[in-house]
């Protein structure tokens, strides 16, 4: 385990951010639709400057004017955070494993300023949705499944106006892809942020740990993920790290274990996404846990656009203005 942990630490090392603690957009690579938002043509310079001057955020606090409520889903009650006009087009931002709705706290006001109603919710078993789980299904199950997360997402979408602009982060990108493939009438656009670009055992594509991921159990993999977050290999600010560690007190370990297992069995949806007619954007950081080349190849396969930021796995935290600008252009296609 010690050797694997050293490899994990090495995998998360990245060049230090420039003055101000943030990084700028590197480029956009186009693959199949439109021209994309290019990082070298000056159009994102204002967003780069805004991201470079981000202030310390209270991640546990909701943005001013945001509403906290819940949504009834098949697995139980899901905690939701919403901001923006009730009659605005909905943008639904879905966090990944060990994450929460607060991960999009910097983006909700930006999307609202553009006239959208921005929403996010905690996945079943995660943070304030920790009571939601497979035991609440009819009939009950003994583990979190992909269908559980898909059915929950459908419930959230159908709880308001549709179609929605849908973003799935990391594991949630797989969940969102299933929904877009099966129910394209509910999805106006799809954004896959730092999501698995490989079907099957998606961890095999990791930059450093890929060769070790096959025989590794889901429980061990989840333990390494949690350990890496606690050890702050993403080099998050102190305030962000405090919140991330705090929500581990609520998140069910079994939900993380099951998600890691699901990420070792990612369905091949390439043909379905191409046939869906839903515009797709892949948004990733240059320092993502999967190589950018793998994301670009995925974009080619599903005829998506791709934008690459000079960040890591979490552009929603480190480049929210640039990411939002890319989303707004994507929505207009």
What pLDDT was estimated at residue 4? Answer: 42
Calculate the average pLDDT of the chain: 85
Provide the pairing of β-strand 117-121 with 76-83: antiparallel
C-alpha–C-alpha distance, residues 45 and 48, integer Å: 5
Q: What is the pLDDT of residue 27?
A: 45
Extract the tokens encoding 118. 């921005």
Give pLDDT, residue 11. 41
Task: Give the span between the Cα atoms of 303 and 325, in whole angstroms.
Answer: 21
Range of 23-27, 56-60, 220-224 with top mean pLDDT: 56-60
- Residue environment code for 75-97, b if the CB has 16+ CB neighbours within 10 A, otherwise e: bbebbbbbbbeeebbbbbbbbbb
* pLDDT score of 215: 56
- Per-residue pLDDT tens over the stretch 116-151: 999 999 999 999 999 999 999 999 999 999 999 999
Does 209 or 264 have the greater pLDDT score? 264
Among 182-191, 254-263, 320-329, the minimum mean pLDDT is found in 254-263
Instruction: Give the residue from 31, 28, 101 showing the smallest Cα distance to 316.
Output: 101
Q: Take residue 256 and report the two structure tokens written for it.
A: 């993380």
Helix (H, G, I), strand (E, B) or coil at 288: coil
**Beta-carbon contacts of residue 2 (< 8 Å; ≥ 6 apart):** none
Category of 264 on φ-ψ map: left (φ > 0), alpha (ψ -120 to 50) or beta:
alpha
Rounded to whole angstroms, the Cα distance separating 288 from 315 reads: 9
Tell whether the model's pLDDT for residue 315 goes beyond 90. Answer: yes
Percent of the chain whose pLDDT exceeds 70: 77
CB 315 within 8 A of CB 290: no
The pLDDT tens digits for 172-226 are: 999 999 999 999 999 999 999 999 999 988 877 665 664 554 556 666 665 666 6
What pLDDT is attached to residue 1? 45
What is residue 312's three-state secondary structure?
Answer: coil
pLDDT for 139 equals 97
Of residues 218 and 273, which shows the higher confidence score? Answer: 273
Q: What are phi and psi of 169, to 5 degrees?
A: -100, 125
Give domain 2-331's CATH number out of 3.40.50.1820, 3.40.980.10, 2.60.120.1570, 3.40.50.800. Answer: 3.40.50.1820
Residue recorded with tokens 């001057």: 53
DSSP-assigned letter for residue 260: H
Answer yes or no: are the C-beta atoms of 274 and 179 closer than 8 Å: no
Residue pair 290/200 in contact (Cβ under 8 Å)? The answer is: no
- Cβ atoms 312, 220 nearer than 8 A: no
Whole-angstrom Cα distance, residue 187 to residue 157? Answer: 9
pLDDT digits (tens, 9 = 90+) for 81-98: 999 999 999 999 999 999
Say if residue 329's pLDDT is above 70: yes
Residue 5 above 90 pLDDT?
no
Give mean pLDDT, residues 61-71: 97
- Residue 163 preceded by cis peptide, ω within 30: yes
Q: Are 100 and 72 in contact (CB under 8 A)?
A: no
Three-state secondary structure string covering 90-108: EEEEECCCCCCHHHHCCCH
pTM: 0.85
Higher confidence at residue 41 or residue 209? Answer: 209
- pLDDT at residue 35, as a whole number: 35
Q: If pLDDT is split at 50, 70 and 90, which confidence band does 57 have?
A: confident
């Amino acid at each position: 385990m010690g050797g694997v942990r050293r490899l994990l630490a090495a995998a998360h090392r990245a060049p230090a951010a420039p003055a101000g603690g943030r990084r700028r957009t590197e480029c956009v690579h186009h693959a199949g639709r439109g021209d994309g938002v290019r990082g070298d043509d000056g159009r994102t310079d204002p967003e780069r400057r805004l991201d470079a001057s981000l202030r310390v955020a209270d991640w546990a606090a909701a943005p001013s004017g945001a509403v906290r409520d819940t949504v009834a889903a098949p697995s139980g009650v899901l905690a939701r955070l919403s901001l923006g006009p009730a009659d605005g087009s909905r943008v639904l931002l879905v966090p990944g494993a060990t994450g929460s709705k607060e991960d999009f706290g910097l983006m909700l006001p930006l999307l609202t300023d553009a006239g959208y109603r921005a929403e996010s919710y905690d996945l079943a078993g995660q943070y304030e949705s920790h009571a939601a789980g497979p035991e609440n299904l009819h009939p009950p199950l003994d583990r979190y499944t992909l269908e559980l997360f898909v059915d929950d997402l459908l419930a959230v979408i159908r709880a308001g106006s549709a179609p929605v602009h849908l973003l799935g982060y990391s594991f949630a990108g797989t969940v969102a892809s299933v929904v877009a493939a099966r129910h394209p009438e509910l999805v106006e656009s799809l954004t896959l942020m730092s999501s698995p670009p490989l079907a099957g055992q998606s961890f095999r594509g990791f930059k450093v740990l890929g060769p070790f991921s096959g025989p590794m159990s889901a429980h061990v993999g989840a333990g390494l993920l949690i350990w890496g977050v606690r050890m702050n290999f993403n080099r998050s600010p102190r305030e962000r790290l405090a919140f991330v560690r705090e929500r581990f007190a609520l998140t069910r370990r079994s939900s993380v274990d099951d998600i890691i297992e699901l990420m070792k069995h990612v369905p091949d949806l390439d043909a379905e996404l191409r046939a869906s007619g839903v515009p797709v954007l892949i948004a990733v950081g240059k320092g993502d846990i999967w190589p950018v080349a793998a994301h670009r190849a995925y974009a080619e396969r599903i005829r998506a656009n791709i934008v690459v930021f000079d960040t890591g796995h979490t552009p929603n935290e480190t480049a929210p203005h640039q990411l939002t600008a890319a989303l707004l252009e994507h929505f207009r296609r």
